[in-house]
């Protein structure tokens, strides 16, 4: 079956998110260097990613209130424009103050920017099903976005290091502001189709009138839902729908082990298990990102083969990724480790892209942004817990066993998916809800 061509608004969405991701990489690198130069403290530099995750978690919690008031393209434009303006303020401030800049003010601006960024990914992922013509195109669209995300990560960290070294942290932030400005401009081209572009008032009424899945009409359809109802609607939908509950549970289990690929853990593994220096840390990271890029391209190539067998493809990806992680954990040969992480990428992308597609197909378009916001907040929290917990466990029973634990967690998530296959046989409740 031949998939339909993508719509122009989708390509605008794809472009704006690629630009925004590139800006993120640049500014994180620039600020990390700036903080290290001023404080000579790794702890201070490590606070930034933790603070970003915390801000994004809070943002995801309150995102449903904004989703009820704004159309998704408007919400995306608000996020990108707000970050653009804050970047200009931050870049000018650092350019003027230099080494005398207040880190408290810098961290405060980063917190607000991260807060604005917190609803970007849920909004993007909720917009994708509205901007593609059919389910085959949905898998292709998710694959394209995943490839661009990984390319930015793969190339971005190396290039951003060169840019920061050549220009310095403060001028790099000015470059970042320009990229964010371009992202905001491209967001203007993201338009929903007429049938999806309901007014915010209609969206609010419909969302409350759905009352989710029981088919009853809420009395608040005329008066508007309470704030608490709006904030908890996505969470209740996840809990009420077996397939969403299952996919979210699998995500949580997988995320608990996912933090082992954070830089400090991979460096410790390279030094301890492989007996190599920091240069091999770079090789391992490069191989992993190259694998994920090739994995995204593989998903694009297999769109017709996968068809509507998203669950099977996801489970194959999880099983392959888990087994390769286990072999990686017990391997002591550096070149074999490179091959293993390169092979992990395609399996990881097969799992991630199909899981995202399953979630998008399992809930109606009006409820999808709230569900994705709830999931994003939950996963940010799980990642923070995992990061802290894995650091303690690494000290307790060693880095090799830590990677074995990560492999076991992925296999457990795979087993949960296999046992819960029945949840996907019945049609999704929300698929029949008004869109």
* DSSP state string for 3-70: PPPPPHHHHHHHHHHHHHHHHHHHHHHHHHHHHHHHH--HHHHHHHHHHHHHHHHHHHHHHHHHHHHS
Lowest mean pLDDT among 66-70, 110-114, 238-242: 66-70
Which tens digit of pLDDT belongs to each residue from 204-223? Answer: 433 343 334 343 333 334 44
Half-sphere exposure of 297 (CA within 13 A, CB side): 7
Lowest mean pLDDT among 3-7, 173-177, 206-210, 342-346: 206-210
- Sequence-distant (6+) residues with CB within 8 A of 185 are none
Give, for 309, the enclosing helix (H) or strand (E).
Answer: none
- Is the distance from CB of 201 to CB of 366 less than 8 angstroms? no
pLDDT band for position 428 (50/70/90)? low
Measured CA to CA, the distance from residue 87 to residue 420 in angstroms comes to 45
Instruction: Give the C-alpha distances (Å, rounded to integers) separating 241 from 48, 60, 212, 343.
Output: 36, 20, 10, 34
- Average pLDDT, stretch 320-328? 95
Predicted local distance difference test score (pLDDT) of residue 427: 56
299: pLDDT strictly greater than 60 = yes
Lowest mean pLDDT among 335-339, 408-412, 425-429: 425-429
83: pLDDT strictly greater than 80 = yes
pLDDT band for position 1 (50/70/90)? very low
Which tens digit of pLDDT belongs to each residue from 243-253? Answer: 999 999 999 99
Instruction: Report percent pLDDT > 70 for the chain.
Output: 83
Measured CA to CA, the distance from residue 98 to residue 198 in angstroms comes to 47
Measured CA to CA, the distance from residue 308 to residue 156 in angstroms comes to 33
pLDDT band for position 225 (50/70/90)? low
Lowest mean pLDDT among 58-62, 179-183, 212-216, 316-320: 212-216
Which tens digit of pLDDT belongs to each residue from 253-284? Answer: 988 888 888 766 887 888 888 988 877 877 88
- Average pLDDT, stretch 221-243? 78
């Amino acid at each position: 079956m031949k998939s339909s061509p993508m719509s122009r608004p989708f390509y605008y969405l794809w472009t704006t998110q690629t630009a925004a991701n590139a800006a993120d990489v640049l500014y994180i690198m620039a600020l990390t260097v700036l903080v290290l130069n001023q404080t000579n403290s790794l702890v201070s530099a490590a606070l930034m990613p933790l603070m970003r995750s915390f801000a994004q978690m809070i943002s995801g919690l309150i995102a449903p209130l904004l989703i009820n008031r704004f159309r998704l393209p408007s919400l995306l434009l608000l996020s990108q424009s707000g970050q653009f303006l804050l970047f200009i303020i931050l870049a000018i401030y650092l350019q003027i103050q230099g080494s005398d800049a207040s880190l408290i003010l810098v961290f405060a601006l980063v917190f607000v920017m991260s807060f604005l960024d917190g609803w970007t990914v849920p909004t993007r992922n909720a917009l994708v099903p509205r901007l593609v013509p059919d389910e085959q195109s949905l898998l292709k669209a998710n694959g394209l976005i995943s490839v661009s995300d990984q390319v930015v990560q793969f190339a971005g960290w190396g290039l951003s290091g060169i840019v920061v070294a050549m220009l310095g942290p403060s001028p790099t932030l000015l470059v970042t502001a320009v990229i964010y400005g371009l992202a905001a401009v491209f967001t203007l081209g993201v338009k929903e189709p007429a049938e999806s572009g309901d007014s915010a008032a209609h969206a609010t009424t419909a969302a409350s009138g759905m009352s989710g899945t029981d088919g009853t009409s809420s009395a608040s359809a005329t008066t508007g839902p309470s704030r608490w109802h709006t904030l908890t609607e996505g969470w209740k939908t996840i809990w009420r729908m077996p397939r969403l509950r299952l996919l979210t549970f699998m995500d949580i289990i997988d995320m608990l082990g996912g933090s082992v690929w954070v830089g400090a853990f991979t460096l410790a593994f390279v030094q301890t298990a492989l007996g190599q220096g920091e240069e091999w840390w770079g090789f391992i990271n490069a191989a992993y990102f190259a694998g994920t890029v090739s994995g995204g391209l593989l998903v694009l190539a297999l769109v017709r083969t996968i068809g509507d067998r998203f669950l099977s493809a996801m489970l194959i990806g999880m099983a392959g990724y888990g087994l390769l992680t286990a072999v990686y954990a017990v391997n002591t040969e550096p070149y074999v480790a490179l091959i293993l992480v390169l092979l992990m990428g395609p399996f990881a992308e097969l799992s991630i892209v199909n899981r995202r597609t399953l979630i998008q197909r399992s809930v109606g378009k009006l409820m999808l942004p709230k569900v994705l916001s709830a999931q994003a907040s939950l996963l940010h929290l799980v990642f923070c817990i995992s990061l802290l917990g894995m650091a303690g466990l690494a000290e307790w029973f060693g880095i090799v066993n830590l990677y074995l634990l990560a492999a076991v967690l992925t296999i457990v998530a795979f087993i949960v998916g296999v046992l819960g296959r029945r949840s996907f046989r019945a049609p999704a409740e929300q698929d029949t809800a008004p869109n």
